[in-house]
Amino acid sequence: MEFPKDRLTIHEAAEATGLSAHTLRYYERIGLIHPIDREENTRRRYTEEDIGWIDFLTKLRATGMSIRDMQRYAELQRQGDETLPQRLEMLKALRDQVEQHIDELHEHLKLVQYKIEIYGQIVAQKELEKS
Amino acid sequence: MEFPKDRLTIHEAAEATGLSAHTLRYYERIGLIHPIDREENTRRRYTEEDIGWIDFLTKLRATGMSIRDMQRYAELQRQGDETLPQRLEMLKALRDQVEQHIDELHEHLKLVQYKIEIYGQIVAQKELEKS
DNA sequence: CCTTGACTTCGAGTACACTCTAAGATGTAC
DNA sequence: GTACATCTTAGAGTGTACTCGAAGTCAAGG
Protein backbone atom coordinates (compact mmCIF):
# COMPACT_ATOMS: atom_id res chain seq x y z
CA MET A 1 0.00 0.00 0.00
CA GLU A 2 0.86 3.64 -0.10
CA PHE A 3 1.24 6.59 2.18
CA PRO A 4 -1.79 8.76 3.00
CA LYS A 5 -1.97 10.77 -0.18
CA ASP A 6 -2.89 14.38 -0.49
CA ARG A 7 -1.54 14.13 -4.01
CA LEU A 8 -3.11 12.29 -6.89
CA THR A 9 -1.57 9.92 -9.42
CA ILE A 10 -2.09 10.72 -13.07
CA HIS A 11 -5.02 8.31 -13.24
CA GLU A 12 -6.66 9.78 -10.19
CA ALA A 13 -6.15 13.23 -11.67
CA ALA A 14 -7.68 11.98 -14.91
CA GLU A 15 -10.64 10.66 -12.96
CA ALA A 16 -10.96 13.92 -11.06
CA THR A 17 -10.79 16.20 -14.10
CA GLY A 18 -12.55 14.11 -16.72
CA LEU A 19 -9.51 14.18 -19.00
CA SER A 20 -7.50 11.10 -19.96
CA ALA A 21 -4.01 10.45 -18.63
CA HIS A 22 -2.84 10.83 -22.21
CA THR A 23 -4.40 14.27 -22.41
CA LEU A 24 -2.94 15.34 -19.07
CA ARG A 25 0.57 14.51 -20.31
CA TYR A 26 -0.18 16.20 -23.60
CA TYR A 27 -1.37 19.37 -21.87
CA GLU A 28 1.79 19.41 -19.77
CA ARG A 29 3.98 18.83 -22.81
CA ILE A 30 2.53 21.78 -24.69
CA GLY A 31 2.73 24.07 -21.69
CA LEU A 32 -0.91 24.29 -20.66
CA ILE A 33 0.00 22.77 -17.32
CA HIS A 34 3.27 23.60 -15.56
CA PRO A 35 5.63 20.64 -15.02
CA ILE A 36 3.90 18.56 -12.38
CA ASP A 37 5.97 17.58 -9.31
CA ARG A 38 7.22 14.02 -9.25
CA GLU A 39 7.09 12.39 -5.87
CA GLU A 40 9.51 9.77 -4.54
CA ASN A 41 10.03 8.51 -8.08
CA THR A 42 9.63 9.73 -11.62
CA ARG A 43 5.84 9.71 -11.48
CA ARG A 44 3.60 12.71 -11.48
CA ARG A 45 1.68 13.65 -8.35
CA TYR A 46 -1.06 16.24 -8.73
CA THR A 47 -1.90 18.69 -5.95
CA GLU A 48 -5.36 20.12 -5.30
CA GLU A 49 -4.10 23.34 -6.85
CA ASP A 50 -3.04 21.50 -10.00
CA ILE A 51 -6.50 19.96 -10.25
CA GLY A 52 -8.07 23.39 -9.82
CA TRP A 53 -6.02 24.82 -12.64
CA ILE A 54 -6.86 21.86 -14.90
CA ASP A 55 -10.55 22.26 -14.09
CA PHE A 56 -10.30 25.89 -15.08
CA LEU A 57 -8.60 24.88 -18.33
CA THR A 58 -11.34 22.41 -19.19
CA LYS A 59 -13.90 25.13 -18.60
CA LEU A 60 -12.06 27.48 -20.91
CA ARG A 61 -11.94 24.65 -23.47
CA ALA A 62 -15.67 24.09 -23.09
CA THR A 63 -16.31 27.74 -23.90
CA GLY A 64 -14.57 27.16 -27.21
CA MET A 65 -11.23 28.78 -26.40
CA SER A 66 -8.55 27.27 -28.63
CA ILE A 67 -5.53 25.40 -27.31
CA ARG A 68 -3.34 28.18 -28.75
CA ASP A 69 -5.14 30.84 -26.72
CA MET A 70 -5.04 28.67 -23.65
CA GLN A 71 -1.29 28.34 -24.13
CA ARG A 72 -1.05 32.10 -24.28
CA TYR A 73 -3.16 32.45 -21.15
CA ALA A 74 -1.10 29.85 -19.25
CA GLU A 75 2.11 31.58 -20.31
CA LEU A 76 0.81 34.91 -19.00
CA GLN A 77 -0.23 33.26 -15.77
CA ARG A 78 3.29 31.92 -15.28
CA GLN A 79 4.74 35.38 -15.81
CA GLY A 80 2.98 36.59 -12.70
CA ASP A 81 0.89 39.52 -11.61
CA GLU A 82 2.15 42.08 -14.08
CA THR A 83 0.29 40.19 -16.81
CA LEU A 84 -3.07 40.59 -15.08
CA PRO A 85 -4.23 43.32 -17.48
CA GLN A 86 -3.58 41.10 -20.50
CA ARG A 87 -5.38 38.17 -18.91
CA LEU A 88 -8.25 40.46 -18.04
CA GLU A 89 -8.46 41.49 -21.69
CA MET A 90 -8.45 37.86 -22.81
CA LEU A 91 -11.24 37.01 -20.40
CA LYS A 92 -13.33 39.97 -21.54
CA ALA A 93 -12.88 38.97 -25.18
CA LEU A 94 -13.85 35.43 -24.26
CA ARG A 95 -16.94 36.64 -22.41
CA ASP A 96 -18.06 38.63 -25.44
CA GLN A 97 -17.49 35.67 -27.74
CA VAL A 98 -19.38 33.28 -25.48
CA GLU A 99 -22.30 35.69 -25.16
CA GLN A 100 -22.44 36.02 -28.92
CA HIS A 101 -22.26 32.26 -29.30
CA ILE A 102 -25.12 31.77 -26.85
CA ASP A 103 -27.24 34.27 -28.77
CA GLU A 104 -26.54 32.42 -31.99
CA LEU A 105 -27.44 29.09 -30.41
CA HIS A 106 -30.73 30.57 -29.19
CA GLU A 107 -31.44 31.78 -32.71
CA HIS A 108 -30.82 28.37 -34.21
CA LEU A 109 -32.68 26.68 -31.42
CA LYS A 110 -35.78 28.65 -32.39
CA LEU A 111 -35.57 27.31 -35.94
CA VAL A 112 -35.11 23.74 -34.72
CA GLN A 113 -38.02 24.16 -32.35
CA TYR A 114 -40.17 25.49 -35.18
CA LYS A 115 -39.33 22.49 -37.36
CA ILE A 116 -40.09 20.16 -34.49
CA GLU A 117 -43.55 21.67 -34.17
CA ILE A 118 -44.29 21.49 -37.88
CA TYR A 119 -42.99 17.95 -38.25
CA GLY A 120 -44.71 16.96 -35.03
CA GLN A 121 -48.07 18.12 -36.38
CA ILE A 122 -47.62 16.29 -39.65
CA VAL A 123 -46.58 13.07 -37.93
CA ALA A 124 -49.51 13.34 -35.50
CA GLN A 125 -51.89 13.91 -38.42
CA LYS A 126 -50.63 10.79 -40.16
CA GLU A 127 -51.09 8.80 -36.99
CA LEU A 128 -54.72 9.90 -36.93
CA GLU A 129 -55.30 8.97 -40.56
CA LYS A 130 -53.95 5.49 -39.96
CA SER A 131 -56.49 4.69 -37.24
CA MET B 1 -23.51 39.28 -70.39
CA GLU B 2 -25.87 36.60 -69.28
CA PHE B 3 -29.56 35.81 -69.25
CA PRO B 4 -31.73 37.12 -66.45
CA LYS B 5 -30.78 34.65 -63.77
CA ASP B 6 -33.04 33.27 -61.17
CA ARG B 7 -30.31 30.75 -60.57
CA LEU B 8 -26.99 31.44 -58.94
CA THR B 9 -23.50 30.39 -59.98
CA ILE B 10 -21.39 28.62 -57.43
CA HIS B 11 -19.69 31.84 -56.44
CA GLU B 12 -22.96 33.66 -56.03
CA ALA B 13 -24.22 30.75 -53.97
CA ALA B 14 -21.05 30.93 -51.90
CA GLU B 15 -21.62 34.63 -51.38
CA ALA B 16 -25.24 34.03 -50.45
CA THR B 17 -24.59 31.25 -47.96
CA GLY B 18 -21.30 32.32 -46.46
CA LEU B 19 -19.63 29.08 -47.49
CA SER B 20 -16.78 28.85 -50.00
CA ALA B 21 -17.24 27.40 -53.49
CA HIS B 22 -14.85 24.65 -52.40
CA THR B 23 -17.08 23.82 -49.48
CA LEU B 24 -20.22 23.84 -51.61
CA ARG B 25 -18.67 21.25 -53.94
CA TYR B 26 -17.44 19.30 -50.95
CA TYR B 27 -20.91 19.26 -49.37
CA GLU B 28 -22.39 18.05 -52.63
CA ARG B 29 -19.73 15.37 -53.01
CA ILE B 30 -20.39 13.93 -49.56
CA GLY B 31 -24.14 14.00 -50.06
CA LEU B 32 -25.13 16.91 -47.83
CA ILE B 33 -26.51 18.67 -50.87
CA HIS B 34 -28.31 16.79 -53.66
CA PRO B 35 -26.61 16.99 -57.09
CA ILE B 36 -27.15 20.58 -58.18
CA ASP B 37 -28.68 21.12 -61.63
CA ARG B 38 -26.28 22.15 -64.35
CA GLU B 39 -27.67 24.73 -66.71
CA GLU B 40 -26.79 25.07 -70.42
CA ASN B 41 -23.34 23.74 -69.66
CA THR B 42 -21.58 21.65 -67.06
CA ARG B 43 -21.70 24.34 -64.43
CA ARG B 44 -23.80 24.36 -61.32
CA ARG B 45 -26.75 26.68 -60.98
CA TYR B 46 -28.30 27.03 -57.56
CA THR B 47 -32.01 27.66 -57.08
CA GLU B 48 -33.53 29.62 -54.20
CA GLU B 49 -34.60 26.30 -52.76
CA ASP B 50 -31.04 25.02 -52.89
CA ILE B 51 -29.86 28.11 -51.06
CA GLY B 52 -32.55 27.58 -48.44
CA TRP B 53 -31.42 24.04 -47.82
CA ILE B 54 -27.80 25.11 -47.58
CA ASP B 55 -28.73 27.84 -45.11
CA PHE B 56 -30.49 25.25 -43.02
CA LEU B 57 -27.39 23.05 -43.16
CA THR B 58 -25.14 25.87 -41.99
CA LYS B 59 -27.48 26.48 -39.09
CA LEU B 60 -27.38 22.83 -38.15
CA ARG B 61 -23.58 23.02 -38.36
CA ALA B 62 -23.58 26.09 -36.13
CA THR B 63 -25.50 24.20 -33.47
CA GLY B 64 -22.64 21.71 -33.39
CA MET B 65 -24.24 18.92 -35.39
CA SER B 66 -21.54 16.78 -36.97
CA ILE B 67 -21.14 16.32 -40.72
CA ARG B 68 -21.94 12.66 -40.20
CA ASP B 69 -25.28 13.43 -38.58
CA MET B 70 -26.06 15.98 -41.24
CA GLN B 71 -25.40 13.32 -43.87
CA ARG B 72 -27.84 11.09 -42.09
CA TYR B 73 -30.42 13.86 -41.95
CA ALA B 74 -29.96 14.72 -45.63
CA GLU B 75 -30.30 11.06 -46.56
CA LEU B 76 -33.58 10.81 -44.63
CA GLN B 77 -34.81 13.97 -46.29
CA ARG B 78 -34.17 12.48 -49.71
CA GLN B 79 -36.10 9.37 -48.78
CA GLY B 80 -39.23 11.44 -48.45
CA ASP B 81 -42.09 11.85 -46.04
CA GLU B 82 -42.04 8.41 -44.51
CA THR B 83 -38.81 9.40 -42.74
CA LEU B 84 -40.42 12.36 -40.99
CA PRO B 85 -40.58 10.55 -37.63
CA GLN B 86 -36.85 9.84 -37.70
CA ARG B 87 -36.03 13.42 -38.63
CA LEU B 88 -38.30 14.61 -35.86
CA GLU B 89 -36.35 12.45 -33.44
CA MET B 90 -33.04 13.83 -34.68
CA LEU B 91 -34.27 17.39 -34.26
CA LYS B 92 -35.53 16.69 -30.75
CA ALA B 93 -32.19 15.16 -29.79
CA LEU B 94 -30.45 18.17 -31.28
CA ARG B 95 -32.68 20.55 -29.36
CA ASP B 96 -31.88 18.80 -26.09
CA GLN B 97 -28.18 18.89 -26.86
CA VAL B 98 -28.21 22.55 -27.75
CA GLU B 99 -30.18 23.43 -24.62
CA GLN B 100 -27.67 21.53 -22.54
CA HIS B 101 -24.81 23.24 -24.31
CA ILE B 102 -26.31 26.66 -23.68
CA ASP B 103 -26.70 25.84 -19.98
CA GLU B 104 -23.09 24.78 -19.84
CA LEU B 105 -21.96 27.96 -21.56
CA HIS B 106 -23.94 30.02 -19.06
CA GLU B 107 -22.25 28.15 -16.24
CA HIS B 108 -18.77 28.81 -17.62
CA LEU B 109 -19.67 32.39 -18.44
CA LYS B 110 -20.42 32.96 -14.77
CA LEU B 111 -16.93 31.79 -13.84
CA VAL B 112 -15.33 33.97 -16.50
CA GLN B 113 -17.39 36.93 -15.34
CA TYR B 114 -16.32 36.28 -11.76
CA LYS B 115 -12.66 36.26 -12.75
CA ILE B 116 -13.12 39.44 -14.74
CA GLU B 117 -14.48 41.14 -11.65
CA ILE B 118 -11.70 39.94 -9.38
CA TYR B 119 -8.95 40.76 -11.85
CA GLY B 120 -10.62 44.05 -12.66
CA GLN B 121 -10.54 45.06 -9.00
CA ILE B 122 -6.89 44.12 -8.61
CA VAL B 123 -5.89 45.95 -11.75
CA ALA B 124 -7.87 49.04 -10.70
CA GLN B 125 -6.23 48.94 -7.26
CA LYS B 126 -2.78 48.88 -8.85
CA GLU B 127 -3.71 51.82 -11.02
CA LEU B 128 -4.58 53.77 -7.89
CA GLU B 129 -1.32 52.89 -6.17
CA LYS B 130 0.66 54.09 -9.14
CA SER B 131 -0.78 57.59 -9.00
C1' DC C 1 14.78 -12.59 -8.11
C1' DC C 2 11.26 -12.38 -11.27
C1' DT C 3 6.91 -11.40 -13.14
C1' DT C 4 3.30 -8.11 -13.66
C1' DG C 5 1.62 -3.93 -14.50
C1' DA C 6 1.63 0.89 -14.33
C1' DC C 7 4.42 4.51 -15.31
C1' DT C 8 7.73 7.22 -18.51
C1' DT C 9 9.02 9.77 -23.24
C1' DC C 10 8.35 11.00 -27.75
C1' DG C 11 7.04 10.37 -32.17
C1' DA C 12 3.46 8.51 -35.06
C1' DG C 13 -1.41 7.95 -36.06
C1' DT C 14 -6.36 9.38 -36.12
C1' DA C 15 -10.73 11.99 -36.76
C1' DC C 16 -12.87 15.81 -38.37
C1' DA C 17 -13.88 19.35 -41.53
C1' DC C 18 -12.47 21.55 -44.63
C1' DT C 19 -9.08 23.71 -48.24
C1' DC C 20 -6.20 23.57 -51.94
C1' DT C 21 -3.90 21.96 -56.26
C1' DA C 22 -3.32 20.06 -60.77
C1' DA C 23 -4.95 19.16 -65.10
C1' DG C 24 -8.24 19.76 -68.27
C1' DA C 25 -12.66 21.77 -70.36
C1' DT C 26 -15.39 25.71 -71.41
C1' DG C 27 -17.17 30.43 -71.68
C1' DT C 28 -16.41 35.66 -72.37
C1' DA C 29 -14.02 39.80 -74.07
C1' DC C 30 -11.52 41.75 -77.39
C1' DG D 1 -9.82 33.09 -82.94
C1' DT D 2 -7.01 33.73 -79.23
C1' DA D 3 -6.18 35.06 -74.56
C1' DC D 4 -7.76 34.75 -70.10
C1' DA D 5 -10.74 33.84 -66.52
C1' DT D 6 -13.57 30.42 -64.44
C1' DC D 7 -15.45 26.22 -64.18
C1' DT D 8 -14.89 20.99 -63.64
C1' DT D 9 -13.06 16.53 -61.06
C1' DA D 10 -10.29 13.73 -58.13
C1' DG D 11 -7.20 13.47 -54.96
C1' DA D 12 -3.76 15.42 -51.90
C1' DG D 13 -2.76 18.61 -48.11
C1' DT D 14 -3.80 21.35 -43.77
C1' DG D 15 -4.96 22.60 -38.98
C1' DT D 16 -6.71 21.31 -34.67
C1' DA D 17 -6.84 18.49 -30.85
C1' DC D 18 -6.17 14.82 -29.29
C1' DT D 19 -5.00 9.53 -28.98
C1' DC D 20 -2.18 5.75 -29.40
C1' DG D 21 1.99 2.77 -29.63
C1' DA D 22 6.64 1.30 -28.89
C1' DA D 23 10.30 0.81 -26.05
C1' DG D 24 12.17 1.42 -21.83
C1' DT D 25 12.02 2.10 -16.36
C1' DC D 26 10.53 1.15 -11.98
C1' DA D 27 8.14 -0.82 -7.82
C1' DA D 28 5.35 -4.05 -5.23
C1' DG D 29 3.80 -8.93 -4.58
C1' DG D 30 4.75 -13.82 -4.58
Q: How far is CA B25 from CA A48, B9, B18, B34, B75, in A?
A: 50, 12, 14, 11, 17
Mutate to test the interface with A, among B90, B91, B110 (most CBs of A within 10 A): B91
pTM beyond 0.75: the answer is yes
- Residues contacting residue A39 through CB under 8 Å, at least 6 positions apart: A7, A45
Going by pLDDT thresholds of 50, 70 and 90, the confidence category of residue B21 is: very high
pLDDT of residue B3: 44
Q: How far is the CA of B41 from the C1' of C10 (A)?
A: 54
Q: First-to-last CA distance in chain B?
A: 68
Nearest to B123 among A84, A101, A126 (CB): A84
- Please report residues contacting nucleic strand D, using a CB cutoff of 7 A: A 1, 20, 22-23, 26, 40-42, 61, 66-68; B 9-11, 21, 25, 29, 38, 42-44
Span A76-85, pLDDT tens digits: 999 999 999 9
**Bridge partners, A46 (sequence order):** A8
CA distance B13 to B43: 13
Span A19-69, pLDDT tens digits: 999 999 999 999 999 999 987 778 899 999 999 999 999 999 999 999 999
Span B37-92, pLDDT tens digits: 987 778 899 999 999 999 999 999 999 999 999 999 999 999 999 999 999 999 99
For chain B, percent of residues with pLDDT exceeding 70: 96
From the alpha carbon of A42, which nucleotide's C1' atom is closest? C8
From the alpha carbon of A43, which nucleotide's C1' atom is closest? C7
Mean pLDDT of all residues in A3-8: 67
Going by pLDDT thresholds of 50, 70 and 90, the confidence category of residue B127 is: confident
